[in-house]
Amino acid sequence: MKILKLTKPMFKKVASTITMVALVLITSFGPQLVEALAITASKDTATRLQISTNADHVFSFTMPTAIDFDVATQHDGFHFDFPASFVSSGTWANADFAFTDSNGSHTIEGTTQGAGTITCTSTTAQNVCVAFDTTNNIFTVKPSTTYTASSAASAVTFTILGTGAGGTLLNPAAVASTNIDIQMCDEVAACFTAFTTSHSSQIAFAVIDDDTVGVTASVNSSITFDLDTAGSDDGACNTDSSVAPYVIALGSITTADSRISGDTDVINLICVDLDTNAGGGAIITVQNANGASGLVSTSTPADDIDTTDNTAVTAGTENYGLCVVTFTGGLDDEGGYNGDTCAANSATNVVQSMSAVTPETIFDTDGAPIAGGRGSIAVNASVAVSQASHNDYTDAITFLATATF
């Protein structure tokens, strides 16, 4: 057996050869390594989680550091991969999608769908197209051929309107926690023929039996009505008297001095307050004990101060009646009690008589519920020279509030 003896020069040559081979191997294989990076902050905000219910999906996520979305070298692309338990129906249209990145919102064009379809065509600058693979439940987003690159690590949103008139996306029929994959094909020549996943994220999606809680309640019918008397210098019931019985003391009426509610004669107004939730609104009616006879002497009933409807109270002329001064909060005055010719302290208010038999509407809410309705009413009286002298002229006025529920 011969022993090969290496001389120093020969050893150096062999060593150099080995070193060169090693360098060649490192140089040849180093650039082929592709680092898969994580898509982060990914979520799917769905409009419904209930089983067998159509839902919209809004995907939002952040692309990996140093990775942009563009068409340089090769097209980039996104896959949104739904499990087979989701059911798509109908025909997807451009209006069913929305896409944004660091460049803002992008118009959708060229939407396609079909078995195994993962490519589409968009040629308008900054637009994207969407392809839907009906076999594998995959939505693909592809940039146009003249797309301006997004910034690196861009925030991205992709919206699928699965409840519209075009395509629909039905949640799984059984309660489950399932996964939806977001995948990015990054600078790969075959991105839209055989999708290659360069970067990805997986979203857990919970489907539940019912995502809605029914809430029931009832509201009782209500009405609040208050009657008061109050003094006023502007005709509004700013300070109410809450002590019953309520009395309007007209005092002494002379031919030279008609008596009117207000601060001038120091005579109170009649005040009403109304609140109700009645759908048909409410009315306030008025009637009196003496009808058109007005103020009647208790000792001599034949003597009265009666009313001439729609006529002004004038000193020296017999007249008595009511008129509406103010109405707020949704109340409206009605009929001959119209407040257009009525004011506190006015000696020429136009008045309306009352009926002893039939209640007459003085306020209403115009057929609607009301909160904080308030009205003020002036009591007016004047006498002629021939009016009989008595200190016991009286009338009793009744107000009723009636709501329609």
Residue labelled with tokens 């040629």:
123
Give 178-245 as a DSSP string.
EEEEEEEE-S-TTTTTS---SEEEEEEEEEBS-------------EEEEEEEE--SSSS--S-B-PSS
The per-residue pLDDT for 35 is 58
Handedness of CA 258, 259, 263, 269 (dihedral sign): negative
Q: What is the band of 236 on the pLDDT scale with cuts at 50, 70, 90?
A: confident
Residue where a domain terminates, one of 156, 174, 207? 207
pTM score:
0.62
Asked if 283 and 346 sit in the same domain, the reply is yes
- Mean pLDDT across 312-322: 95
Q: What's the pLDDT at 230?
A: 87
Question: Are 298 and 327 found together in one domain?
Answer: yes
In a domain, 144, yes or no: yes
Count of domains observed in the chain: 2
Query: Do 121 and 243 have their domain in common?
Result: no
Model confidence pLDDT, tens digit, residues 102-123: 999 999 999 999 999 999 999 9
If asked whether residues 290 and 368 sit together in one domain, one would say yes
| Cβ-Cβ contacts under 8 Å for 220 (sequence gap 6 or more) | none
CB 273 within 8 A of CB 224: yes
Residues 6+ away with beta carbon under 8 Å from 262: 232, 233, 235, 269, 344, 345, 346, 378
Task: Give the pLDDT score at 22.
Answer: 31
What confidence tier does 33 reach under pLDDT thresholds 50, 70, 90? very low
Both 243 and 313 in one domain: the answer is yes
Q: Quick check: is 218 in a domain?
A: no
214 within some domain: no
Show the domain range for 331.
223-403
Asked if residue 103 belongs to a domain, the reply is yes
- Say how far apart CA 42 and CA 62 lie, in whole Å: 7
Residues 277 and 310 in one domain: yes
Same domain, 163 and 286: no
Q: How confident is the model at residue 249 (pLDDT cuts 50, 70, 90)?
A: very high
Q: Determine contact, residues 77/158, Cβ cutoff 8 Å.
A: no
146 forms beta bridges with none
State whether 322 and 203 are in the same domain.
no
Question: Do 79 and 129 reside in the same domain of the chain?
Answer: yes
Nearest residue to 378 (alpha-carbon basis) of 231, 217, 256: 231
Give domain status of residue 104, yes or no: yes
Distance in angstroms (rounded) separating the CA atoms of residues 314 and 142: 89
Give the end of a domain, one of 152, 182, 207: 207
Q: Give yes or no: residues 40 and 183 share one domain.
A: yes
What number is the average pLDDT over the span 43-47? 98
Percent of the chain clearing pLDDT 90 (strictly above): 75
CA proximity to 334, closest of 250, 268, 272, 247: 272
Q: What's the mean per-residue pLDDT of the chain? A: 88
Domain assignment present for 15: no
pLDDT for position 88: 97
CB 179 within 8 A of CB 202: yes
Residue 339 lies in a domain: yes
- Could you tell me the pLDDT band of residue 196, with boundaries at 50, 70 and 90? confident
Paired tokens of 403: 């709501």
Q: Can you give the CATH number for the domain in which 182 is found?
A: 2.60.40
261 Cβ contact list (under 8 Å, min separation 6): 232, 248, 267, 268, 269, 270, 325, 344, 377, 378, 379, 380
Span 243-263, average pLDDT: 92
The whole-number pLDDT of residue 195 equals: 80
What average pLDDT score do residues 73-99 get? 94
Domain assignment of residue 29, yes or no: no
